[in-house]
Amino acid sequence: MERGSSAISTDEQVISGVNGWVMLAILIALLGFAVLLAVTPGGPVKVIGGALLVGVTLFCLKGLFTLEPNQAAVMIFFGSYAGTLRESGFFWVNPFYAKTRVSLRINNWNTPVLKVNDERGSPIEIAAVIAWRVQETAKAVFDVESCVNYLQIQSESAVRQVASGHAYDIADGGPDNRKSLRTDLVAIAELLRESIQSHVDVAGIVIEEAKIAHLAYAPEIAGAMLRRQQAEAVVMARQRLVEGAVGMVDGALKQLEDRKIVALSSEQRAVLVTNMMTVLLSESGAQPVIQMAQASQ
Q: Quick one: average pLDDT of 155-160?
A: 92
Burial class from Cβ neighbours inside 10 Å (0-12, 13-18, 19+) for residue 194 reads: middle
Give the model's pLDDT for residue 171. Answer: 57
Higher pLDDT among residues 129 and 266, named by residue: 129
Of all residues in the chain, what percent carry a pLDDT higher than 90?
46
In the predicted model, is pLDDT for residue 26 greater than 50? Answer: yes
Q: Quick one: average pLDDT of 146-166?
A: 92
Quote the Cα angle for 218-192-136, to 5°. 135
Q: Are 130 and 210 in contact (CB under 8 A)?
A: yes
In the predicted model, is pLDDT for residue 1 greater than 80? Answer: no
In the predicted model, is pLDDT for residue 262 greater than 80? Answer: no
- CB-side neighbour CA atoms (13 Å) of 12: 21
In the predicted model, is pLDDT for residue 19 greater than 50? Answer: yes
Q: Quick one: average pLDDT of 34-52?
A: 79
Buried b (16+ CB within 10 A) or exposed e, 38-60: beeeeeeeeeeebeebbeebeeb
In the predicted model, is pLDDT for residue 207 greater than 90? Answer: yes
**CATH number assigned to the domain with residue range 107-217, chosen from the 4 options 3.30.479.30, 3.30.70.890, 3.10.180.10, 3.40.50.10860:** 3.30.479.30
In the predicted model, is pLDDT for residue 134 greater than 70? Answer: yes
In the predicted model, is pLDDT for residue 23 greater than 60? Answer: yes
Which one, of 70, 73, 78, lies nearest residue 93 by Cα? 73
Q: Quick one: average pLDDT of 173-186?
A: 70
Distances (CA, A) of 74 to 4, 71, 101, 103, 282: 26, 10, 6, 11, 76
Give the model's pLDDT for residue 167. Answer: 86
The string of pLDDT tens digits covering residues 47-88 is 888 888 888 999 999 999 999 999 999 999 999 999 999 999
Among 138-152, 187-201, 249-263, the range scoring the smallest mean pLDDT is: 249-263
- Kindly list the domain boundaries of the chain, sorted by start residue: 14-103, 107-217, 223-281
Give the model's pLDDT for residue 3. Answer: 46
Q: Are 10 and 143 in contact (CB under 8 A)?
A: yes
Give the model's pLDDT for residue 169. Answer: 79
Phi, psi (deg, nearest 5) at residue 205: -105, 140
Could you tell me the pLDDT band of residue 155, with boundaries at 50, 70 and 90?
Answer: very high
pTM of model > 0.75: no
List beta partners, residue 83.
75
